Structure 1
């Protein structure tokens, strides 16, 4: 048996359902680049943005013209824009921070997936994958679109590029949407067709530079790039997930493809007739390298929305079976390390947190489940040099372990600090994996909270009192609050007089205290004057609830209360 299965704690991947998010019926989800915001598209046309740290709703993007279910959501590179596609054939681009709609266009078919150009800071170009036609490169600002090629065929010495998927004998189009996605830089697009091929197409030129045959030759349903752009996953109809290594550079990708293409042309100059498709497949060997495949050899299940972990170490696949909520986690080397089972609900979307071992899965009921690691308390982890012992051992101290002045060779070198150097308090150095992976700076991490109308209505029901209490240490005493609420003193000091005083242009309520009966007797003896006992002091009035620390039961006699002076 594999060691990862025996000891699952060695992997940094989720294990249990920690929480769930629920708002309406969610259909699709997407994290921003740093994982602090989670966008979710709902069946009623709403787009909800969750603050993932607090698990609260930060924004509700609602377009009055869109009441159809959302099919996909996609963040821009820095998270300031969000692209939303719906079943009413619409594409809507939102400004997330301002909660404003930038533009909205309508396509001829419903886009199952829509992706923004990852190379632009404020993108207007997006890639849309319609239901039963070729992928479209759409400019949302003006509504123009370009169909991308999905296949290349050889006809003698010429070749043709088809922009429509393969048709049946009767001329009808098959119900198999074509998968397509941008690469890491956005300079090229990877298009998967029904022949089991991946076409490398230029974003600006729509030219086919290479063809990568996928083993099995089955219809490609999904193409997913890792966060670093070094690896590619494909999900095919033959129930197998395959892993490729991306050999193209992150920058100047088109120049590299042109170089590869020109070198192959020079090689074939002496050949009178050569197959252009074979040349494109030769180019493909220099673009991607096939590594391995992932599947369930026992059940042979179909897979739904595979994805990478944030550090590219783990590969996640979801079961596409109805009534089954299963997640399979593999190492990148091919070993199955964990199978997670959730509620008896089918999975419709799945995403891994960019920086943490957290997975969010959306079930067919519209609930998003948050999977996290099952952390176990381990007190030895608080001290790096602490060692756990199964039984007591005799400790032998070193010769100079507790010496006041240790030897010079064992002293740690003190760090030299330049006290005169200027300190930059405005900028901070980003050392996270985000910097190493995509170099994103200035991304939108959090959204300011917006008061909801419900809170304003509750405040209107309870308007502020025009009487301001005199505060002591910026807080009112329980007695003062009870006086204002009930209109009378609810304490042994009932009968004290109150008066209003003007301070700094405002009215404040002050209390003028009367001496107690015992105090009056003591003062009378001192002044040698007769004392008239206040009849109200013989018994305490009924105390209103709640009591304060100054309050006593009403059945106590006067001798007990006369010893206190208020």
Structure 2
């Protein structure tokens, strides 16, 4: 996804809705690290895992203890675990392979977003962002919680005093709205209602830096790009802000200590702000200057080249795409229904959105196929041009250039065992045991439907064997499997009348055709012939009856 070689008029981003997924009422979505599996939380408390390649359901995680709507889903780094938060204040950790529940913790408040620690192979620590309290670190095995600081006072000690940290009812004054880990999980970034970004050390739980945002509006969303180089925030002032991360990706606390040592001359809140200014630098601001709409579910593309924001207006399913320079490149319009969640594919130019009714829409790029260029040196002409042939083009024995000798050593052994690192994943060596696909499980038909089909087929067989006296005679004469001509005519008439009521168009016979059939019927008057006992006479009598009743058929058609 190198932007420098992409046509500026054909950006590498989705443009149209390619397909949609339906399974109950889905509320939130999340891709695994490779983008091969898509997890969706439903309103009935289940978590559905889709195979994104085949667009089929690979697994469904059901918890009998949870029947409340899911608020967020989060994959572990290796894709073998999923963390699910629900409106019943629960956090549930699932094993994706065998579908077993590993742990379940109940908090004091409903969690809007929950994230697993990205640095551990076997995740047991999660970051939960409740609605009406400070974000907490939750140990999913023991159930213990650690409350993160949400503001700093003028003393600059990192954690405010108890007298200033709570109101009379015990609630914190600066209720945070978002928090996230950095790429390796050694630092936590918290956004509060004062419009401040707090940089917190994961081990010491101390505020190491503060970055105030312009306007001081409440921060609703905060997240990092996949490579950890950029930070995105969404505030109540209808603005999405992108920051450049200046800290080292491998060891954030050590890089933070180096920045802190360079600010030893300052104290208190001024020092924290100085440290924060050397950690995050505001790069761009994204907003709709005309409509001034609120943003929902902002995110980066998989390569970090595009910034995405969804409209928070009711009755709109609009997605805005900007480049990192701040230029609006595309506005995607979906169905006339509100959008609840949004996710970009980690590797490919795909995007997935969820509407209010619970359907998942898959956005893809609209590729224009060109079938005219077959050969590599083929040139498509806009108009006719006069062709000038070469001097030796049509010679019988043209001069053949000598083939240049290659410098490749053909005797050298070819290594077919070593797996090269994927350029899209900077730490692909850490994911040897990563789960990429789930085995498909066939779904048998329901027994009720099978009984229904068997019963209907039995009724059809019975109706074929029981009928008019002619069918009984045919059965006695060994012709039970054949329908009589009168029955065929009657069935065709019944089918035509039924089809006329259900279909939009009904075909009628022409007037000339009716006149010809009437003349033919007058030439053959109706005669009543008694059936004889022989087989040949019965078959002849039945044929004569059909020919003689042609006038009756015409009357029915008229």
TM-score normalised by length of structure 1 = 0.73
For 1:456 and 1:99, locate their aligned partners in 2 and report how far apart those are by CA, in whole Å: 25
Query: Are 1:431 and 2:430 an aligned pair?
Result: no
Match for residue 368 of structure 1?
Answer: 360
DSSP 3-state at the match of 1:98 = coil
DSSP 3-state at the match of 2:154 = strand
Deviation at 1:294, TM superposition (A): 0.4
In structure 2, the CA distance between the partners of 1:448 and 1:276, relative to structure 1 (3 Å rule), is same
Deviations 1:83-138 (A, max 9, x none): 00111111111111111111111111111100011111111111000111110011
Match for residue 180 of structure 1?
Answer: 179
Q: Does structure 2 conserve the Cα–Cα contact (< 8 Å) formed by 1:211 and 1:281?
A: yes
Match for residue 228 of structure 2?
Answer: 229
Deviation at 1:284, TM superposition (A): 1.1
Deviation at 1:208, TM superposition (A): 1.2
Q: Trace 1:43-442 onto structure 2 (pairs within 5 A).
A: 43-155=43-155, 160-161=159-160, 177-265=176-264, 268=265, 274-379=266-371, 383-396=375-388, 406-407=400-401, 411-412=403-404, 414=406, 416-419=408-411, 421=413, 423-425=415-417, 427-435=418-426, 440-442=431-433
For 1:339 and 1:285, locate their aligned partners in 2 and report how far apart those are by CA, in whole Å: 33
Q: For this pair of structures, how many residues does the alignment match?
A: 450
Deviation at 1:25, TM superposition (A): 0.5
Deviations 1:373-395 (A, max 9, x none): 11221125655443322112234
Deviations 1:30-80 (A, max 9, x none): 000111100000000000000011100000001111111101000011111
Deviation at 1:428, TM superposition (A): 2.8
Deviation at 1:441, TM superposition (A): 3.8
Deviation at 1:445, TM superposition (A): 1.1
In structure 2, the CA distance between the partners of 1:12 and 1:164, relative to structure 1 (3 Å rule), is farther
Deviation at 1:169, TM superposition (A): 8.3
Query: Are 1:447 and 2:438 an aligned pair?
Result: yes
Question: Higher strand proportion, which one?
Answer: 1
Q: Does structure 1 conserve the Cα–Cα contact (< 8 Å) formed by 2:149 and 2:159?
A: no
Question: Higher helix proportion, which one?
Answer: 2
For 1:197 and 1:439, locate their aligned partners in 2 and report how far apart those are by CA, in whole Å: 34
Please provide the CA RMSD for this pair: 3.1
Query: Are 1:16 and 2:7 an aligned pair?
Result: no
For 2:37 and 2:93, locate their aligned partners in 1 and report how far apart those are by CA, in whole Å: 17
In structure 2, the CA distance between the partners of 1:177 and 1:211, relative to structure 1 (3 Å rule), is closer
Deviation at 1:444, TM superposition (A): 1.2
TM-score normalised by length of structure 2 = 0.74
Q: Does structure 2 conserve the Cα–Cα contact (< 8 Å) formed by 1:226 and 1:312?
A: yes
- 5+ unaligned residues in a row in structure 2: which ranges? 1-6, 455-480, 482-558
Q: Does structure 2 conserve the Cα–Cα contact (< 8 Å) formed by 1:152 and 1:162?
A: no
DSSP 3-state at the match of 1:48 = strand
Deviation at 1:260, TM superposition (A): 1.4
Deviation at 1:430, TM superposition (A): 3.5
Q: Does structure 2 conserve the Cα–Cα contact (< 8 Å) formed by 1:8 and 1:338?
A: no
Match for residue 483 of structure 1?
Answer: none
- 5+ unaligned residues in a row in structure 1: which ranges? 1-6, 269-273, 464-489, 491-566
Q: Does structure 1 conserve the Cα–Cα contact (< 8 Å) formed by 2:71 and 2:85?
A: yes
Q: Does structure 2 conserve the Cα–Cα contact (< 8 Å) formed by 1:184 and 1:250?
A: yes
Deviation at 1:178, TM superposition (A): 2.0
Deviates more, 1:129-138 or 1:373-382: 373-382
For 1:357 and 1:451, locate their aligned partners in 2 and report how far apart those are by CA, in whole Å: 30
Q: Does structure 1 conserve the Cα–Cα contact (< 8 Å) formed by 2:176 and 2:191?
A: no
Match for residue 27 of structure 2?
Answer: 27
In structure 2, the CA distance between the partners of 1:396 and 1:444, relative to structure 1 (3 Å rule), is farther
